[in-house]
Structure 1
Amino acid sequence: MFDLLISPSQLLALSKDNVVIVDCRHQLTDGEYGQKVYAEGHIPSAVRLHLDVDLSGEKTGNNGRHPLPNREAFASKLAKIGISNASQVIAYDDAGGMYAARLWWMLRWLGHDKVAVLDGGIQAYLAAGGLLDAELVALPAAEFVIKPTLEKTYSADDVLSALGSNQLLVVDARAAGRYAGEGETLDPVGGHIPGAKNYFFQRNLDANGCFLSAEVLKQQWMATIENQALDAVVNQCGSGVTACHNLLAQRIAGIAGAGLYPGSWSEWCADASRPVATGPTP
């Protein structure tokens, strides 16, 4: 079973029995990008899930840019594309796991642990000799039953009530500029949740877009978390996507227990009564 990462060589050697490969490619500035590149060529037998349509729920204007969908509706969608409780799911993208990690986390949110991210994405797969296929894939429908969640979530109220205390440590996965409130392009308000620390998700990756070793990741993450209890660490980002990348990196490092604030900054800043801080991490 692969439950964190799978290398291209492991994927190429993997028996395809009960394996579902999911193309998660996406661009925040171009909602049509993922479908376009999927049609041009994808890993053979891969189905596709769209971040905005499939990996997000209905937006209300105050629940963030990528709110979580209803769990039952998402489970039904997984079953429709051929994912069952017996499936080994492999998620990939072309952005260092930025979007694939969202599917990794969401499956775990439904209690499914047989899910891994393709390390290095489609680029590493091609470099390893993998081939692409442009054929539209439709797998037989399956049955997917929700199990007890393997992930912990926090609401805006949870975070708000802990401000000014040591109850929770919020870690923001956005780039340093957006965290500081400089050059914000995706959300109407710049800045960060007061007291949050900044850990840009791309720090988890090497120059080739693959995850760093468990040892290096552990050093980096422990330096950020310091003495905070792991079960009191809350990961957030702009809309609950790249925070999942940080959660995956923590698991690779052997650090378990942290949770996700799904609404993240885009939900937080939608309510003007919630405090906002600016500037770099102290």
Structure 2
Amino acid sequence: MSARSAYLHNDTTGAAPMAFTTILSADDLKGLLASATPPLLLDCSFELTQPGKGREAYLAGHIPGARYVHLDDDLAAAPSGTNGRHPLPDAEALAQRLRVLGLSQGQQVIAYDASGGAWAARAWWLLRWLGHEAVAVLDGGLPAWVEAGGALEAGEAGPTIVGDFAPRAPLVGGTMEADEVLANIESRAAQVLDARDPSRFRGDPNPIDPVAGHIPGAKNRFFRDNLDASGRFRPANALRSEFTALLGEAHAILQCGSGVTACHNALAMEIAGLPGARLYPGSWSEWIADPSRPVATGEV
């Protein structure tokens, strides 16, 4: 069953609907779309090496009514060369974009992609960062929707009414700057978890990282380890056991290549009942922009 929490609004019958705040199934989504207060759907399709492919995929077929958000253009600010590939967007600029897409206060938001939630989790984290509680990721993404018999539509979604969404206090554990992560190498006050694949973490040569390796003291938690063979999130108890084994009693600092798939680990920890992890948004792409920062290689 999907993790849910009490919704903030009451409907016209006086009942209190439930808000999905982590993940939901395709059948759950069908129920929401048939309700009197449908959610805002965000299609987050993206390909790291071909940034235009996500929009092409969206135009070819998406969940009816979904709006497209682009990782580079909507879910990140422009990189400067020293702040990582996907810096956090300006909060008010993102809020305005969400209003234009139709988001109203308290409205349920559902983000999805076709990549196991790799990009949708970034949208989930950002909305939580803006204080929006009712946001969840479609478990299994677009493939799960199609498997469940869900319809698709092509082309752009129709016009919508601008919403009244406004940011509130963050509902995530906060962020960390590079100097704080650097200081943590000595203090070991928190445990860095790196969401990149094991080969990149080890420091094997690859086309993405100009400098290969990882932050000294980090442990590897490949984001795809959060998923089962079907591309859905694994059970909460399994996730909790694995994250606890990595962290012990330490708090988590989450990073990856550019602060995107680290959000997948944040979502998995929330599902596991382990909220409060802090995100290092600049991640490895920011870390290696300064050659004075230390680099480790090999297994941990």
TM-score of the pair, normalised by structure 1: 0.96
State whether residues 164 and 195 of structure 1, in contact with CA within 8 Å, keep that contact through their aligned partners in structure 2. no
Q: Does 1:8 align with 2:29?
A: no
Q: CA deviation at 1:179?
A: 0.5
Structure 1: gaps of 5 or more residues: none
Q: Determine which of 27, 36, 46 is the counterpart of 2:56.
A: 36
Distance in 1 (CA, whole Å) between partners of 2:267 and 2:154 is 30
Q: How does 1:106-185 map to 2 (within 5 A)?
A: 106-137=126-157, 138-151=159-172, 152-185=174-207
Q: Determine which of 81, 87, 92 is the counterpart of 2:112.
A: 92
Q: Once the two structures are superposed, what CA deviation does each residue of 1:5-64 show, in whole Å capped at 9, x if it has no partner?
A: 010001011126141001001000111111101111100000010001110002100000
Q: Once the two structures are superposed, what CA deviation does each residue of 1:194-252 show, in whole Å capped at 9, x if it has no partner?
A: 00011100000000000000011111111111231xxx310000000100000000010
Q: Does 1:253 align with 2:272?
A: yes
Q: Does 1:22 align with 2:42?
A: yes
Q: Determine which of 173, 187, 191 is the counterpart of 2:209.
A: 187
State whether residues 18 and 86 of structure 1, in contact with CA within 8 Å, keep that contact through their aligned partners in structure 2. no
1:243 is matched with which residue? 262
Partner of 2:286, secondary structure, is helix
Distance in 1 (CA, whole Å) between partners of 2:145 and 2:165 is 28
Q: CA deviation at 1:186?
A: 1.1
Q: Does 1:57 align with 2:77?
A: yes
State whether residues 106 and 133 of structure 2, in contact with CA within 8 Å, keep that contact through their aligned partners in structure 1. no
Q: Once the two structures are superposed, what CA deviation does each residue of 1:54-101 show, in whole Å capped at 9, x if it has no partner?
A: 100021000000000111111111111111222100000000000000
Which amino acid in the other structure matches residue 151 of structure 2? L
Partner of 1:171, secondary structure, is strand
Partner of 1:234, secondary structure, is strand
Q: Does 1:80 align with 2:100?
A: yes
Return structure 1 stretches of 4+ with deviation > 3 angstroms.
Answer: none
Distance in 1 (CA, whole Å) between partners of 2:36 and 2:201 is 42
1:278 is matched with which residue? 297
Q: CA deviation at 1:183?
A: 2.8
Q: Does 1:196 align with 2:215?
A: no
Partner of 2:264, secondary structure, is helix
Q: Once the two structures are superposed, what CA deviation does each residue of 1:101-142 show, in whole Å capped at 9, x if it has no partner?
A: 000000000000110000000000100010100141132111
Q: CA deviation at 1:173?
A: 0.4
State whether residues 3 and 115 of structure 1, in contact with CA within 8 Å, keep that contact through their aligned partners in structure 2. yes
Partner of 1:22, secondary structure, is strand
Give me the CA root mean square deviation: 1.0
State whether residues 62 and 271 of structure 1, in contact with CA within 8 Å, keep that contact through their aligned partners in structure 2. yes
1:221 is matched with which residue? 243
Distance in 1 (CA, whole Å) between partners of 2:160 and 2:53 is 23
Q: From the superposition, tell whether residues 10 and 235 of structure 1 become closer, same or farther in structure 2 (CA, over 3 Å).
A: same
Distance in 2 (CA, whole Å) between partners of 1:143 and 1:149 is 18
Distance in 1 (CA, whole Å) between partners of 2:130 and 2:249 is 30
Q: CA deviation at 1:165?
A: 2.1
TM-score of the pair, normalised by structure 2: 0.91
Which amino acid in the other structure matches residue 238 of structure 1? G
Which amino acid in the other structure matches residue 277 of structure 1? A
Aligned-residue sequence identity (percent) comes to: 50
Residues paired across the two proteins, number? 278
Greater CA deviation, 201-210 or 11-20?
11-20
Distance in 2 (CA, whole Å) between partners of 1:227 and 1:39 is 46
Distance in 2 (CA, whole Å) between partners of 1:132 and 1:270 is 42
